[in-house]
Amino acid sequence: MGATSWVRRSTWRWRRNPLRRPTDVLEAWVWTAAAVAMLVAGALAGWLTGSAAHAALRHTVREQQLHRHLVSATALRAAGRGAAADHEATTGREGYHRVLARWPGPDGTWRTGLVPLPGAAAPGHRFPLWTDDRGRLAGRPLDAATASVHAALAGAGAAVAAAGAVQGLRTLAVRRIMRRRYAQWDRAWERAGQTWGRADAGN
């Protein structure tokens, strides 16, 4: 019963009845066109954006996998309380401990620097560390699964944005239709007022 009532309310503009106005038909066409446009534009924008993002991220994955290297670093001592250590502490992630560590570079030379670790490390503790081609600290390289997730999110965002743009245009169109409808009502009431009470008003 509820579904039938909803269908009847949703499709009354398409059915012939004496109360249906031209603006009602126009509004129904606007709703239909907007629904189709949201589906098409949303799907197209999502696919194009997702595909472009996926291609770019796959390139990033290949570059990072090629130019980032996992080495074994050795903790030397906890970071001191000097000015340099204080500066590093302010830029580190909360909950991480900074230790002075030593690790091999790609050219075989040893590098030394402050490294953030999720826990305290005693001197001599060995841990994995990502570096770039020059032996500098680098983040973990992006993997294919994470890249796919980011691309999917980008595509979904583009689809929502495209659908929102179509919805905005539909709202503007419906407002113009409503203004046109109100203007027609005003003219109808004006004509009715001019003939109100006249004996020949119905002729």
Give residue 84's pLDDT: 44
Looking at the predicted structure, is the pLDDT value of residue 85 above 50? no
Which residue shows structure tokens 């909950």? 95
Considering the domain architecture, whether residues 133 and 117 belong to the same structural domain is answered as yes
Looking at the predicted structure, is the pLDDT value of residue 92 above 60? no
**Confidence class for position 14, pLDDT limits 50, 70, 90:** low
Considering the domain architecture, whether residues 115 and 125 belong to the same structural domain is answered as yes
Looking at the predicted structure, is the pLDDT value of residue 46 above 80? yes
Considering the domain architecture, whether residues 119 and 135 belong to the same structural domain is answered as yes
Considering the domain architecture, whether residues 44 and 107 belong to the same structural domain is answered as no
Task: Find, among 105, 58, 12, the residue nearest to 113 by Cα.
Answer: 105
Sort 111 into a burial class: Cβ within 10 Å, 0-12 / 13-18 / 19+. Answer: middle
Instruction: For 122-162, write each residue's pLDDT tens digit.
Output: 889 999 999 999 999 999 999 999 999 999 999 999 999 99
pTM over 0.85: no
Considering the domain architecture, whether residues 135 and 77 belong to the same structural domain is answered as yes
Q: Distances in Å between the alpha carbon of 7 and those of 1, 21, 33? A: 10, 19, 18
Considering the domain architecture, whether residues 100 and 76 belong to the same structural domain is answered as yes
Task: Find, among 60, 62, 54, the residue nearest to 154 by Cα.
Answer: 54
Query: Do the domain assignments include residue 176?
Result: yes
| Joined tokens for residue 142 | 């992006």
Q: In the chain, pLDDT over 90 holds for what percent of residues? A: 46
Query: Do the domain assignments include residue 21?
Result: no
Task: Find, among 165, 184, 142, the residue nearest to 44 by Cα.
Answer: 165
Radius of gyration of the chain (CA): 34
Average pLDDT over residues 77-86: 56
Answer for the pair 99, 117: CB distance below 8 angstroms, yes or no: yes
Task: Find, among 153, 128, 152, the residue nearest to 140 by Cα.
Answer: 128
**Parent domain of 98:** 69-140
Question: What domain count does the chain have?
Answer: 2
Considering the domain architecture, whether residues 84 and 181 belong to the same structural domain is answered as no
Q: 87, 109, 140 — which closes off a domain? A: 140
Looking at the predicted structure, is the pLDDT value of residue 191 above 80? no
Considering the domain architecture, whether residues 62 and 89 belong to the same structural domain is answered as no
Query: Do the domain assignments include residue 1?
Result: no
Higher pLDDT, 178 or 47: 47
Considering the domain architecture, whether residues 133 and 79 belong to the same structural domain is answered as yes
Three-state DSSP class for residue 106 = coil
Query: Do the domain assignments include residue 41?
Result: yes
Average pLDDT along the chain: 81
Considering the domain architecture, whether residues 79 and 41 belong to the same structural domain is answered as no
**Confidence class for position 9, pLDDT limits 50, 70, 90:** low
Considering the domain architecture, whether residues 133 and 35 belong to the same structural domain is answered as no
Query: Do the domain assignments include residue 16?
Result: no
